[in-house]
Amino acid sequence: MSTRLKIATLQLNPLIGALEDNIARANSILSLAFPGNGRPDLLVLPEMALCGYNYSSPQHVAPVLESLSDRGPMLKWGEEVSKKYGCFTVLGYPELKEGKIFNSAIVFGKQGEVIHNYNKSFLYETDEVWGCEEGKGFEAFELIPGVRASIGICMDLNPYKFKAPFTDFEFSQHCFDDNVNLILCPMNWLHAKSPSIMEGISEDEKRVCAKTQQQEVDKIKGVYSLNATGGPIENYVEVPDYTNLQEPDYHNLNYWLLRFFPFMNHAFKKTTFKNRTTVVICNRTGVEDTITYGGTSSIVQFNGTSGLLGYNSIDLTNKSVSVLGSLGKGDEGILIRDVNL
């Protein structure tokens, strides 16, 4: 028996440390997306969704750290949103636990109860700058009967420290081996052309590039993009096309799909994946210092079909991959899909 969920990914452009403003913006987008009695079944937000990510030190991040035993505005917001909409909420936040800092994602149940709390296992260099420690490893948990879920936060999708063999696929192989059929990925994934990773230019030149990109994002600030099942919905507002900010970053999307290769059926693979697994990727957008983020929050399924014709690619053209929807790289908005798990 299949389970159907209305899944929403809330793609934000949070400002560093500006919790009140970031929370207000998230509330505004949700109110526009779900007027009246509308609600999602599952709401997924980005990594460090309400406080920003690019902190410069443990002292810099300290004011926004929260713990399960001493909840601050971010965790209280997640609890309240779950109660208000009667939904599961997945929220990335910086956690202080037993004197250590973790990059975490929490899952609230429909009554605001904590179902699961995960600490990021594979750290990106930015995590290490502000004193983050590695979690204990990948985990699976039951969201509801018949839905086995796992969380991977951003760098978790990559090879460990970019040094492990690319084809180990550590996170997705864990999900495959543990029969996970709902994979939740809060992200702060860089745009493929983020100034921070440009080579051969100075830090000042990177900041000039980032400022130009921020100006493009600011042109659509205050206009929300709602990508809803079945076409336009009430209060739908189309974001103007400024340097294709509404288009997904296909470089990133195809890379993410490749990192779930264990679920992808390929003409040259000896075994066939015959089930269905849904991957919910919620990335942030916008600019922090010299970093530009890639947006492209997406809901995709590995559908279990197989064959020869149409199964020899390793990107979204592979027929065992169904991209149910993606937001643009510069959108601040929400993607909504009714998904049959």
191 band by pLDDT with thresholds 50, 70 and 90: confident
| Crossing angle (nearest 10°) for helices 73-85 and 19-33 | 10
Give the pLDDT band of residue 158 (cuts 50, 70, 90). Answer: very high
DSSP label at residue 3: -
**Residue 60, number of CB atoms within 10 A of its CB:** 15
d(Cα 233, Cα 34) in Å, to the nearest integer? 10
pTM for the predicted model, two decimal places: 0.89
Give the pLDDT confidence score for residue 203 in this predicted structure. 62
Q: What is the pLDDT of residue 36?
A: 83
Span 192-228, pLDDT tens digits: 776 565 556 466 655 545 555 455 555 544 444 444 3
Rounded Cα distance between 237 and 57, Å, is 39
- Is the dihedral angle over the CA atoms 120, 123, 127, 130 positive or is it negative? positive
Q: What is the pLDDT of residues 264-274, one digit of tens each?
A: 999 989 899 99
Q: For the chain, what is the mean pLDDT?
A: 87
Looking at this protein, which amino acid is placed at residue 21? D
Our count of domains for the chain comes to: 1
> What does the pLDDT read at residue 230?
32
The CATH number of the domain where 64 resides is what?
A: 3.60.110.10
| pLDDT digits 0-9 by tens, 272-317 | 999 999 999 999 998 887 788 999 999 999 999 999 899 999 999 9
Q: Would you state the pLDDT for residue 331?
A: 83
- Share above pLDDT 90 across residues of the chain, in percent, rounded to a whole number: 75
Confidence of residue 38 (pLDDT cuts 50, 70, 90): confident
Around Cβ 167, how many Cβ atoms within 10 Å? 9
**H or E element, residue 339:** strand 333-340
pLDDT for res 214: 54
Q: Is 50 exceeded by the pLDDT of residue 173? A: yes
- According to the model, what pLDDT value does residue 291 have? 81
Which secondary-structure segment (H or E) carries 61?
helix 58-61
pLDDT tens column, 225-260: 444 333 322 322 232 233 566 788 888 999 999 999
Bridge partners (DSSP) listed for residue 186:
282
DSSP state of 121: S
Could you tell me if 106 and 90 are in contact, meaning their C-beta atoms sit under 8 angstroms apart? yes
Closest CA to 45 of 33, 56, 60: 33
Q: Which domain holds residue 78?
A: 4-340
Which of 79, 146, 68 shows the shortest CA–CA distance to 102? Answer: 68
